[in-house]
Structure 1
Amino acid sequence: MEDSEFLNELRQMVMRRGETSNLVDTIAFVSEVAERLEEDPVFGEFILAEDSRQGAKNKQIKLHGFTDIDESDGTLSMVIGRWIDDDEPAILTTADVDQLRGWLENFAAEALDGGLDEKITESSPAYQLASTLRRKRASISCIRLHIFSNQPLSRAYKRESRSEVCGTQTEIHIWDLQRIKALYESSREREMLQIDLDEFGSTGIACIEASRGEGLQSFLCVIEGNLLADLFDRYGSRLLEGNVRSFLGMKGGVNKGIRKTIQDAPHLFFAYNNGIAATAASVTLDSIGSTARIMKISDLQIVNGGQTTASILRGKKQDRLNLAGVSVPMKLTVVASNDAHDLIPKIAEFANTQNKVAIADFFANHPFHRKMEEISRRLMVPARTGIRVQSKWFYERSRGQYQNERLYLSKAKKDSFDLQYPSDQVINKTDLAKYDNVLHEKPYWVSLGAQKNFMKFATKFSSKGDQTEAQRWEELSPDFGDTYYQNIAAMAILWKAGETTVSAAKGQWYEGDYRPQIVAYAWSFIFHALRKAGREPDLKKVWEQQEANQGFLQVFKRAAVLAQRTLLELPEGSSNVGEWAKKELCWGKLSAIPFRLDTTAIEWSIEKNEHKSKARDARQQGIQDDGISLQQQILMKAENGYWQALMEWRSIEIHVFGPDLDLLRRASSPGTAVRLATGREWKRLREISDRCEAEGFRHHENVVGQP
């Protein structure tokens, strides 16, 4: 795609976001790119925070948003955007970059040393950033300065990427037109790191090749503690596989045992520590004497051992410990790029099994997501008067999936796609978690931010006791069928209508900040009041009408006023609205307030007994749908040769025998597979498949047999 074509697509995205979220173009642009970057470890979870003022000595201060401290590596990000609404924007010059960078650096300097937090109203998210910079200065390892622009960066730009502000290290990241285009075109959700160990004064990582297979190559390595610390210091949580990073951030803290070993017995570190597990896209090897050494690594990700890595760096930087003599065992698996998306999360999951990490930490490929995606591709919205084409609500199982699927279509196909999946009918996995937790009266979880709220949501899928994850999902799956997805889409409608209602009240009762928290608390407050009255929200009615009733939004407005008041009335000892919103005490304060339910609220709700009856019916339908879906999967595997290939797998008799082998034989032919009539047989075949794949079986269509 040419730059001009992409720029036009980007302009349409910005316009749509601006219209639906009541944002000016620059802020809509910043929000659009920030949302796409949120799962990139170099960025994080974005908080919109507009601030513009004159600082000391008349220096201009400007900010559009930030991401909070990443607990795994001590970094935070500041963001400023530049949007030029021209068909062919001029080049982003060095002078332009210096100006934008200067505005962010001025904010940081005044916050660190100039008491900026005392000059910003406490109800502003910018106050949260300024306060964090001052209070947590000693914990901040680096401030990342992000510049977003829809202009192409000048080729003459040669500034150093790293510098200091008031003694705190900074690092600039410029997201110009070409880099944003590459971000949108990429099917990955992160930029690939290219690490040259020469740049760290290293002679490489000693290694031996341990195994080699189809698409995989594994090495047993020894990495020096200083090198591991330097890599993490340079690249931070970009080195941590996404779910490991989230888990580490939730736990925080430094392992005291690691610190003690480094301090008292560094030569025993290798013996005492389990080491780290990592993956890479490729490595470059060299030999020094008889020892093979890794000299370059592409896309290094630590999938187990994040706590070890962070603790080693903190020991070096904060405790001033000497890492000479510290060696860390490392298992490095090189994964072919076409297999990376599926295999890396699995490697991470199994590498962490010994630590009993909850399924919430490795949720990206859970069958729940695949089921939501499948439902969203077939479930049409109810027919409405005057609308010829019935559309669908698109579920994004991975970040940017919606734009990626439409980006390279012809104009005619793109128009058809847009009619089928309108841009305002997209739900991603963190949106879904947000809507679900609001519905279940957890606005304080939603206020934790998208990723941490998602982790909270995902805990409901964790296995219990001796249950396997597959057994837990089989138990839960019927509850997450068509009716559930309709309810989530209805919540999306209510959420967006709530955002519009709050934004429209700016200059009236809305003070202009913390809109997401107000919306989350207000809807949860209404649902709480309905349940106290023995009723439930009628989300089916919202789904059927595909819009929020204006009378119901008047109820929401009353709730939102109370929600904002509760959020802004900080308890003694607290000075941060964002942090107060994350506390269950905040929800307790709001939910204790009496709330009058008028006739409109009653009309948009149903009695609790009716709700329970509908839920039972939905579960029964879910059980039936799951059975049909499983039967279809079994037959499809028969038709594409999966069961036949499994029969011919050389290890089959080690893992499958007796009645299971007979069942597999019957499934291997489409003609006999179609006669498998019981759900028990279908489930048994699925268990056989899962067991054999866990033992190494892989099936590729048109390839018979496996090594």
Structure 2
Amino acid sequence: METLESFHEELRHIVARRASNDHLVDTIAFIREVSDRLEDDPIYGEFKLSEDEGKLGNKNYKIHGYTDFDESDGTLGLVIGKWYDSDAIETLTTAEVNQLFTNLENFIVGSIKNNLFEEKVESSGVYEISTTLSEYKNKISRIRLHLFSNAVLSQRFKESLSGDIGGISIEHQVWDLLRIKSLYESSREREQIEIVLSDFDSDGIPCIEASKTENLSSYLCVIEAPLLADLFERYGSRLLEGNVRSFLGMKGGVNKGIRSTIQDAPSLFFAYNNGIAATATSVDVGRTSDGLKITELADFQIVNGGQTTASILSARKKDGLSLSGVTVQMKLTVVNVSEANLMIPKIAQYANTQNKVAIADFFANHPIHRKLEEISRRLRAPVRVGTRLDSKWFYERSRGQYQNERLYLNKSKRDLFDLEFPSTQVINKTDLAKYDSAWKGKPFWISQGAQKNFLKFAAQFTPKGDASETEHWETISPNFGDSYYQDMASIAVLWKKIESLISSARGDWYAGDYRAQIAAYTIAEFFNIFRVKGGEFDLSKVWAAQAVPDVLGPYLVELAIRVQQLILTPPPGTTNVGEWTKKEECWNRIQSLPVEWSEDLNAFLLDKKEANSRKAENKKIGQIDDGISAQNTCYELMNSGYFSGLCQWPPFFQFFTPNEQSLIKKASTPKSFLTIFNDKDWRTIIELKNKAEDEGFRHTLN
């Protein structure tokens, strides 16, 4: 385990690199760094920069950013940071914490009660969050105040609950160095919730154990509606499994059928409602005179029935209905923490089949990520001018993977890692979706936020017609090979360059807000200009140089200036610039810009015939690579004894057809393995392996 001192030193290096790469001051670079780690945790969400400070009367306010309003539980977050540029670990005192939280609370009061937004420029981010607080004050149930610091919270600190502001509950979240270290060391993408039911005046949830295997246990439970409402009121969408929260478009409004049943026939709610399905990584179960009761839960997540849960709370809180006598059936699956990342999304997927949720909606384990991860670990980038060594672009299949892989290396190995995978050459899943959408002319998707854009990106992996997910992936997989990853890395270079050009123009032409939207629209329009000319921008030239050619810089600046002007001047009746950039109408207006072609661009124009020829050739190479990859995977599994073990699996003869049994047996020994020649057979073998694992097969190495 890394010491706190060494983690503190490493965090300082991470922030310094980020500040340099993204042209940010250290405090904002620090907030963005930790925010990226927290983005998938419902306690946080997607961070939006909105720096502002000032006075309201004799009271100071200050804010560094915010997280969007979450309709599933009526929460939003405000963010402030305290960064210490010191070699030694500082202490965050009670007085400092209280002052920073007071600064945020004063901003809330100013926005809700004093129309602070009227003093702000309409095209600014602070206007957007201040307006949201004012307009949504009757919908917001809780505001989370997040304080980030690289200091250690004083042991004498006692969190002072401020009650509420204008009827809205206020919750404090202090992310000090210890908590951030724990966050970085965790392999999960959310902080685990530990629930002790006695804290909610409950003696437990009645249950019976329905099934038990080595890796999971299932319980059938009856949970009282007041307890379920209390849990959701306290933890909100932190209780909703990430894919369910993100992909089902949860709304906080009460379902009319649920409300009428609670009001008119509370004793029949259990019979009328389908109940909820949930997971946990551990539970404490005690035996009482009334039978088994669950008294504690770790990492409790609702994977089906989020709407039911939100509606029950809404019925009590907004409609004033009593929940006395209302009970809810619950199926609870307890999964070993080591299996949680793999199993919980699958449980959520199958629990939601009645809602016709596409497989792409549960996208975290899609093979595209494993494929791009494999490509990124072997594909070397050309040597950049002025450097002696080549390097690679690191693909993060899970959030924080890059830092996690380098965090516990000794100094010499870490230095080698940094040479091979520079911090400027990291692409995560939401980055990938952003680059793909910009390439395809969908900047308004990007402006809707990382998660919503990711959904749009994921849709292309959804099977069409009667095709299975596997069949669909086999069809499109060759399109996502080495050349695709090179193109995405090239767009990353272009994106970073444009962000740099924008940031360096602060105080000149850049107004200081909406950098991400300006960059997205500028890149999309840049590609569009080449398409208007009847071709494509040749991304291979960016890949070869690992940089944006200098000759393109002035052209990109002029384009970004024109894009900013159209973004910041929405049509009459629209004042929220952030919302304006989410609309396709905004993109249509920018596409209508006159094309100002420069002769310098001719060198980067790839005519349509050549572009189509390259695409066809890359697909052929992708098909060959896929076949080789499948064969290599099967060979490694055969060598490990995997298929021999699968042949000994008790359900083997019942689960597989005779032809499938024969194919698996061929793959189980070196001699018979050599008789398999067909690429389709290799893919089928991998599919059979995955099917067996879905049914519980596990191979243990001897």
Normalising by structure 2, we get a TM-score of 0.98
User: Is the alpha carbon distance of 1:277 and 1:125 closer, same or farther for their aligned partners in structure 2, counting shifts above 3 Å?
Assistant: same
For residues 487-538 of structure 1, what are the alpha-carbon distances to aligned partners after superposition, in whole Å with 9 as ceiling and x for unaligned? Answer: 0000000000000001111122111100000000011111112111101011
- Matched residue SS, 2:274: coil
Give the match for residue 674 of structure 1: 674
* Residues 611-620 or 24-33, more deviating: 24-33
Give the match for residue 127 of structure 1: 127
Do the aligned residues in 2 keep the contact of 1:248 with 1:307 (CA within 8 Å)? no
Displacement of 1:387 in angstroms is 2.7
Do the aligned residues in 1 keep the contact of 2:41 with 2:238 (CA within 8 Å)? yes
Give the match for residue 94 of structure 2: 94
**Alignment partners' CA distance in 1, 2:339 and 2:163:** 38
Give the match for residue 17 of structure 1: 18
Gaps of 5+ in 2: none
Q: Does 1:242 align with 2:242?
A: yes
The aligned amino acid for 1:22 is H
The aligned amino acid for 1:204 is G
Do the aligned residues in 1 keep the contact of 2:385 with 2:545 (CA within 8 Å)? no
Give the match for residue 476 of structure 2: 476
Do the aligned residues in 2 keep the contact of 1:359 with 1:458 (CA within 8 Å)? no
Displacement of 1:650 in angstroms is 1.1
Q: Does 1:396 align with 2:396?
A: yes
* Residues 354-363 or 141-150, more deviating: 354-363
- Matched residue SS, 2:92: coil
For residues 574-623 of structure 1, what are the alpha-carbon distances to aligned partners after superposition, in whole Å with 9 as ceiling and x for unaligned? Answer: 11111110011111111112121212222222111111110000100101
Displacement of 1:322 in angstroms is 1.9
Q: Does 1:63 align with 2:63?
A: yes
Do the aligned residues in 1 keep the contact of 2:252 with 2:311 (CA within 8 Å)? no
**Alignment partners' CA distance in 1, 2:260 and 2:698:** 44
**Alignment partners' CA distance in 2, 1:316 and 1:370:** 45
The aligned amino acid for 1:630 is A
Identity value in percent? 53
User: Is the alpha carbon distance of 1:595 and 1:253 closer, same or farther for their aligned partners in structure 2, counting shifts above 3 Å?
Assistant: farther
- Matched residue SS, 2:624: helix
Give the match for residue 144 of structure 1: 144
The aligned amino acid for 1:344 is I
User: Is the alpha carbon distance of 1:114 and 1:101 closer, same or farther for their aligned partners in structure 2, counting shifts above 3 Å?
Assistant: same
The aligned amino acid for 2:211 is S
- Matched residue SS, 2:657: coil
- What are the residue-to-residue correspondences of 1:673-692 with 2, within 5 Å? 673-692=673-692
Displacement of 1:644 in angstroms is 1.1
Give the match for residue 626 of structure 1: 626
- Matched residue SS, 1:350: helix
* Residues 611-620 or 159-168, more deviating: 159-168
Q: Does 1:660 align with 2:660?
A: yes
Do the aligned residues in 2 keep the contact of 1:161 with 1:173 (CA within 8 Å)? no
Displacement of 1:105 in angstroms is 0.2
User: Is the alpha carbon distance of 1:481 and 1:636 closer, same or farther for their aligned partners in structure 2, counting shifts above 3 Å?
Assistant: same
**Alignment partners' CA distance in 2, 1:133 and 1:386:** 50
- What are the residue-to-residue correspondences of 1:584-595 with 2, within 5 Å? 584-595=584-595
- Matched residue SS, 2:675: coil
- Matched residue SS, 2:24: coil
Give the match for residue 45 of structure 1: 46
* Residues 657-666 or 75-84, more deviating: 657-666
The aligned amino acid for 1:580 is W
Give the match for residue 530 of structure 1: 530
- What are the residue-to-residue correspondences of 1:481-630 with 2, within 5 Å? 481-630=481-630
Displacement of 1:635 in angstroms is 1.4
- What are the residue-to-residue correspondences of 1:82-121 with 2, within 5 Å? 82-121=82-121
**Alignment partners' CA distance in 1, 2:34 and 2:680:** 48
**Alignment partners' CA distance in 1, 2:5 and 2:687:** 51
Give the match for residue 355 of structure 1: 355
Do the aligned residues in 1 keep the contact of 2:195 with 2:298 (CA within 8 Å)? yes
- Matched residue SS, 1:62: strand
For residues 178-221 of structure 1, what are the alpha-carbon distances to aligned partners after superposition, in whole Å with 9 as ceiling and x for unaligned? Answer: 11111112222211111011111112111000000011111011
- Matched residue SS, 1:668: coil
- What are the residue-to-residue correspondences of 1:323-472 with 2, within 5 Å? 323-384=323-384, 386-472=386-472
Do the aligned residues in 2 keep the contact of 1:148 with 1:174 (CA within 8 Å)? yes
**Alignment partners' CA distance in 1, 2:681 and 2:218:** 37
**Alignment partners' CA distance in 2, 1:528 and 1:390:** 31
User: Is the alpha carbon distance of 1:226 and 1:359 closer, same or farther for their aligned partners in structure 2, counting shifts above 3 Å?
Assistant: same
Displacement of 1:372 in angstroms is 0.6
**Alignment partners' CA distance in 1, 2:252 and 2:565:** 32
Do the aligned residues in 1 keep the contact of 2:8 with 2:89 (CA within 8 Å)? no
**Alignment partners' CA distance in 2, 1:680 and 1:298:** 43
**Alignment partners' CA distance in 2, 1:248 and 1:567:** 30
Normalising by structure 1, we get a TM-score of 0.97
**Alignment partners' CA distance in 1, 2:536 and 2:689:** 41
Do the aligned residues in 2 keep the contact of 1:280 with 1:297 (CA within 8 Å)? yes
* Residues 254-263 or 350-359, more deviating: 254-263
**Alignment partners' CA distance in 1, 2:188 and 2:232:** 22
Give the match for residue 8 of structure 2: 7
Do the aligned residues in 2 keep the contact of 1:70 with 1:249 (CA within 8 Å)? no
- What are the residue-to-residue correspondences of 1:182-197 with 2, within 5 Å? 182-197=182-197
**Alignment partners' CA distance in 2, 1:609 and 1:453:** 30
- Matched residue SS, 2:381: coil
Do the aligned residues in 1 keep the contact of 2:383 with 2:546 (CA within 8 Å)? no
The aligned amino acid for 1:58 is N
The aligned amino acid for 2:557 is K
User: Is the alpha carbon distance of 1:465 and 1:259 closer, same or farther for their aligned partners in structure 2, counting shifts above 3 Å?
Assistant: farther
The aligned amino acid for 1:377 is R
**Alignment partners' CA distance in 2, 1:680 and 1:396:** 29
Displacement of 1:250 in angstroms is 6.0
For residues 51-76 of structure 1, what are the alpha-carbon distances to aligned partners after superposition, in whole Å with 9 as ceiling and x for unaligned? Answer: 01111x22111000000101110100
User: Is the alpha carbon distance of 1:534 and 1:338 closer, same or farther for their aligned partners in structure 2, counting shifts above 3 Å?
Assistant: same
**Alignment partners' CA distance in 2, 1:696 and 1:187:** 23
Do the aligned residues in 2 keep the contact of 1:552 with 1:604 (CA within 8 Å)? no
Do the aligned residues in 2 keep the contact of 1:635 with 1:674 (CA within 8 Å)? no
**Alignment partners' CA distance in 1, 2:433 and 2:112:** 35
Displacement of 1:384 in angstroms is 4.2
Give the match for residue 705 of structure 1: none
Give the match for residue 27 of structure 2: 26
Displacement of 1:343 in angstroms is 1.1
Displacement of 1:661 in angstroms is 2.0
Do the aligned residues in 1 keep the contact of 2:144 with 2:172 (CA within 8 Å)? yes
Do the aligned residues in 2 keep the contact of 1:248 with 1:306 (CA within 8 Å)? no
Gaps of 5+ in 1: 703-707
The aligned amino acid for 1:45 is E
Displacement of 1:176 in angstroms is 0.7
Do the aligned residues in 2 keep the contact of 1:380 with 1:392 (CA within 8 Å)? yes
The aligned amino acid for 1:428 is N
Give aligned pairs, total. 701
**Alignment partners' CA distance in 2, 1:616 and 1:639:** 35
- Matched residue SS, 2:380: coil
User: Is the alpha carbon distance of 1:256 and 1:674 closer, same or farther for their aligned partners in structure 2, counting shifts above 3 Å?
Assistant: farther
Q: Does 1:79 align with 2:79?
A: yes
- Matched residue SS, 1:452: helix
User: Is the alpha carbon distance of 1:421 and 1:575 closer, same or farther for their aligned partners in structure 2, counting shifts above 3 Å?
Assistant: same
For residues 440-465 of structure 1, what are the alpha-carbon distances to aligned partners after superposition, in whole Å with 9 as ceiling and x for unaligned? Answer: 11000000111111111101101112
User: Is the alpha carbon distance of 1:690 and 1:91 closer, same or farther for their aligned partners in structure 2, counting shifts above 3 Å?
Assistant: closer
* Residues 574-583 or 554-563, more deviating: 554-563
For residues 111-151 of structure 1, what are the alpha-carbon distances to aligned partners after superposition, in whole Å with 9 as ceiling and x for unaligned? Answer: 01011010111111111111000101111010000001111
**Alignment partners' CA distance in 1, 2:683 and 2:97:** 59
* Residues 563-572 or 284-293, more deviating: 284-293
